[in-house]
Structure 1
Amino acid sequence: MTFKINIKLLLLFTIITICFSCTEKKKALKKKEETKVGSVYTMQPYENNLPDLKSSEKKRLQQTIENFYNKKYIPNDFSGSILVAKNGHIIYENYRGMSNFEEKKAISSETPLHIASLSKVLTANAIFLLIDSKKITLDQKVNTILDDFPYPEITIRTLLNHRSGLRNYSYFTDKKIIWNQKDTLQNKDLIPVINKNNVNLEYKTDTHFAYCNTNYAFLALIIEKITKMDYRTAMKKLIFEPLGMKNTFVFDYKKGTKNNSQSYKGNKIKYAYNYLDGIYGDKNIYSTPRDLLKFDMATYNNSFLNKKLLAEVYKGYSYESKGTRNYGLGIRMLEWEDGKKMFYHNGWWHGSTAAYIKLKDEKATLICISNKYTRCTYKLKLLSSLFGDYPFEIKSKEEGLE
């Protein structure tokens, strides 16, 4: 008799769970339909309130991180910003140095700094929104989107995971016979330059991994072609505005550089802008740790992307060489034999360096941005051991992730 009752209760619980799940899916779908720009889904702020740490635990972590910061960053005369959060709640943040040393403009929580290749993470997510909106497909050939694109085997996926075989644009436009460096190179120039000079692939598409900025310059062009908006506007409408990233923008070389945070060598000599500063998608986004935290948390929304696409984002694609390092779609990753993964992306452009670490299992976010060249930015990974079973020690002398 008890067994029959338990079976009935189990069936009732299963039915209720299924109904609840279906209701939640319908709500998520409705939410996505309501938050579109034209016919393209936009990112939305994280909709759940996750618990904050207990005050005693937070205080312990703050003290540990503060000691780490004082030991690793202060001696390097760090100029920039750092933030560590759990469940979207900020545990620790620090801002020091100058966005402009000549004019003595101090860096604060609202000071946008150049995030260099962290821009790739944001560009990739704009592409995911287009895929999720059924405007393009992950394995669509690029030459079906961009006119005169000369490489028939390259797909959107192989741009995202750096397996396209493309040459880095900075390696073939540095020759005067190919490009006059007095002129600022722009994304729209890449296809004409490649075709005019018969620039071949560096290797056959999808045979191995090779990190290449050109991939993301073309992804930016795809965003423009599909949305019928320039990249700056598309990123603003699809990601920055919906998430309330008020201090995030795409750099516009044509509007001048005076009001932007400057970039410096380690000895505080300012970097001059050059002919490559007009390319976007792979770089040229300015942001703050607080804004990037909003972005990171938004990726945990049930309504963010369909599960199939999300699974494609966070898996490794390149196993030609043994080791823990790999690359997903728009995100670097470390994979260990026990199945543990850590997702991250670093950046470096002129004197600006940046690090973003996403601990998915623990919902912890670590962000560091510097506008005066230093490699201590990349030591941020050592703090991951505070949140999970990651093989790093705070006392380690490692310089960090490449």
Structure 2
Amino acid sequence: MTNKYTVNIILLSFFLIISSSCSEKKKEIKLKKEKTKVGSVYAMLPFENNLPKINKTEEKRLQNTIQEFYKKVYIPNNFSGSMLVAKNGHIIYESYRGMSNFEEKKPITAETPIHIASLSKVLTATAIMLLIDSKQIKLDQKVNTILDDLPYEDVTVRTLLNHRSGIRNYSYFTDKSSEWSKRDTLRNSDLIPFINKFNVNLEFKTNSRFSYCNTNYALLALIIEKVTKMDYRTAMKELIFEPLDMKNTFVFDLKKDSKTASHSYKGNKIRYAYNYLDDIYGDKNIYSTPRDILKFDMATYSPSFLNKELLSEIFKGYSYESKGTRNYGLGIRLFEWEDGKKMFYHNGWWHGNTSAYIKLKDEKATLICLSNKYTRCTYRLKLLSSLFGNYPFEIKSREESLE
């Protein structure tokens, strides 16, 4: 009897040890799955897409409507670029037309990276939020505690992200030939020395109002470099592009990529020449595809992407000095309507490249349009939001546009 009792106790103890060990291993595997670090910084993780597809009837209806919209809006404008619409991460519609290089007749395909212009800000802001989530910097930390020589005392990481810093646009304060020769390529590392040398004052008191400014994001790129101890191109690759399998996304390097990257054109197909501002990054200079951007968009729904409090800081407006429906969060634009409905988006324009990215959070719908030949029809993409939710846009209203 005693022997049986002893044996049972031993077996039970053994079972509990094994069970506990398995449980700990599962927790460890889960933790690894939830958070992956590059050095001391969390990297993004892909969203495991278990969200349902829409039914075939609804999918066909949407495809027909979008195709008709595309024929009426994009084809008459001789659109050159790419467009994608997805729901729950599943592609409903995509189209690729035009040339990445008209001179050599290289067609745009699903794998052709196009300059996404200021849509790059969304990705730069994301890298900064990863640094904050990893406790490497703080959202309200003063920037001059990171970038030592920045002369502006009250500028914080947050005010760079939401364009309330008051810093002037680098394309304006470097425009005088007596101060910067346009024969010399301007780089991110030149900005703070230039500001100090020529005593470039703030345009307005920090955090007193909103003013969209590319310098903010060029400085955020410098913060990424300082904190990660990697150049911006490498940091973006390791923190975002590679983990999300964004194979056709890269940060442009003027010396290495000027001959091979997709070119930029005026509306009459005359090619834009590169200029002295074409090597600044953070605010622009990311090339990507709609499929890669969709991977990024879905990854922001992953439970492991940022803590909830930090995530909520991104998707709220910070500028209410004047009444209106438009606002800006942290690296994302907002429409806010009186009924409480919100739409998140970001547009871009650089040389002949225009871009539009729309994130319908409530419906988990993603709309992306990229063009390398100048056209404003890229921005009409917002009209398609009414197919997915109660958004106040009419597809028939062809004159609507996002600024």
Q: For 1:204-353, list aligned pairs within 5 A.
A: 204-353=205-354
Task: Report the 3-state secondary structure (helix = DSSP H, G, I; strand = E; otherwise coil) of the residue aligned with 2:100.
Answer: strand
Distance 2:400 2:77 in 1: 13
Question: What CA distance in whole angstroms lies between the structure 2 residues aligned with 1:398 and 1:159?
Answer: 33
State the 1:25 CA deviation: 10
Match of 1:31 in 2: 33
Structure 2 counterpart of 1:320, one-letter code: E
| Deviation digits for residues 86-110 of structure 1 (CA, Å, limit 9, x no counterpart) | 0000000000000000000000000
Deviates further, 207-216 or 46-55 = 46-55
TM-score, normalised relative to structure 1: 0.93
Amino acid at match of 2:173: F
The answer to whether residue 368 in structure 2 is matched with residue 367 in structure 1 is yes
For 1:26 and 1:335, the matched residues in 2 are separated by 41
3-state DSSP class of the match of 1:242?
A: coil
Q: Secondary structure at the match of 2:243?
A: helix
Name the CA distance, whole Å, in 2 between partners of 1:252 and 1:186: 11
Distance 1:166 1:381 in 2: 30
Task: Indicate the residue corresponding to 2:128 in structure 1.
Answer: 127
Moved more, 46-55 or 116-125: 46-55
Q: Residues 249 and 285 of structure 1 are in contact (CA less than 8 Å); yes or no, is this contact kept in structure 2?
A: yes
Question: 1:21 corresponds to which residue?
Answer: none
Code of the residue aligned with 2:50 in structure 1: it is N
Residues 256 and 302 of structure 1: CA distance in aligned 2, closer, same or farther (over 3 Å):
closer
Who is 1:10 aligned against?
Answer: none
Structure 2: distance between partners of 1:31 and 1:168: 41
Residues 217-249 of structure 1, C-alpha deviations (whole Å, 9 max, x = no match): 000000000000000000000000000000000
Runs of 4+ in structure 1 off by over 6 angstroms are: 24-28
What code does the residue aligned with 1:236 have? Answer: K
Tell me if the contact between 1:161 and 1:327 (Cα under 8 Å) persists in the aligned partners: yes
Q: Say if 2:266 and 2:272, in contact at 8 Å, map to a contact too.
A: yes
Deviation of the 1:147 alpha carbon: 2.0
Q: CA offset at residue 48 of structure 1?
A: 3.7
Runs of at least 5 residues in structure 1 that lack an aligned partner in the other structure: 1-23
Contact 1:376 1:399 in 2 (8 A): no
1:400 corresponds to which residue? 401
In 2: Cα distance, 1:257 partner to 1:304 partner: 34
Q: Which residue of 2 aligns with 1:12?
A: none
What is the SS of the residue equivalent to 1:323? coil
Residue in 1 that maps onto 2:52: 51
CA distance in 2, matches of 1:84, 1:355: 12
Whole-Å separation in 1 of the counterparts to 2:118 and 2:283: 6
Change in Cα spacing, 1:25 to 1:266, as seen in structure 2 (3 Å) is farther
Q: Alignment partner of 2:396: what SS?
A: coil
Change (3 A) 1:153 1:96: same
What SS does the corresponding residue of 2:189 show, helix, strand or coil?
helix
CA contact (8 A) 1:114 1:284 kept: yes
Are the structure 2 counterparts of residues 397 and 48 from structure 1 closer, same or farther at C-alpha, using a change threshold of 3 Å?
closer
Equivalent-residue separation in structure 1 for 2:86 and 2:49 (angstroms): 16
Q: 1:360 to 1:148 in 2, by over 3 A?
A: same
Relative to structure 1, is the Cα distance of residues 128 and 25 closer, same or farther in structure 2, using a 3 angstrom cutoff? farther
Q: CA separation in 1, counterparts of 2:363 and 2:401?
A: 21
> What number of residue pairs does the alignment pair up?
379
Separation (CA, whole Å) in 2 of partners of 1:142 and 1:297: 30
- 1:28 is displaced (CA, Å) by 6.2
Q: 1:32 Cα deviation (Å)? A: 3.7
- Summarize deviations over 1:278-329 as a string: whole Å, max 9, x none: 1000000000000000000000001101001001000000000100000000
Q: Distance in 2 between matches of 1:127 and 1:103?
A: 38
RMSD after superposition: 1.4
Paired with 1:137 and 1:148, the residues of 2 have a C-alpha distance of: 19
CA distance in 2, matches of 1:31, 1:372: 41
Percent of pairs identical after alignment? Answer: 79
Q: Distance in 2 between matches of 1:48 and 1:28?
A: 17
Distance 1:25 1:323, change over 3 A: farther
Task: Output the amino acid matched with 1:89.
Answer: H
Give the drift of 1:84: 0.1
CA contact 2:49–2:89 (8 Å) conserved in 1 = no
Is residue 2:81 matched to residue 1:88?
no
Cα pair distance change 1:322/1:376, threshold 3 Å: same
Q: CA deviation at 1:30?
A: 4.2
Contact 2:254 2:279 (8 Å CA) reproduced: yes
> Paired residue for 2:105?
104
Aligned AA (1:224): E
Deviation at 1:178, TM superposition (A): 1.5
In structure 2, the residue corresponding to 1:334 is in which secondary structure? strand
- In the alignment, the residues of structure 1 paired with residue 157 and residue 34 of structure 2 have an alpha-carbon distance, to the nearest angstrom, of 23
User: How far apart, in 2, do the equivalents of 1:399 and 1:266 lie?
Assistant: 19
Deviation at 1:137, TM superposition (A): 0.4
Q: Residue type of the partner of 1:371? A: N
Instruction: Map Cα deviations across residues 50-85 of structure 1 (whole Å, 9 max, x no partner).
Output: 000101100000000000000000000000000000
Kindly indicate whether the alpha-carbon contact (under 8 Å) linking 1:32 and 1:41 is maintained by their aligned counterparts in 2.
no
Structure of higher CA gyration radius: 2
Cα distance in 2 for partners of 1:194, 1:44 equals 37
* 5+ residue gaps, structure 2: 1-25
TM-score by length of 2: 0.92
Distance 2:220 2:94 in 1: 32
Whether the 8 Å CA contact 2:34–2:303 is kept in 1: the answer is no
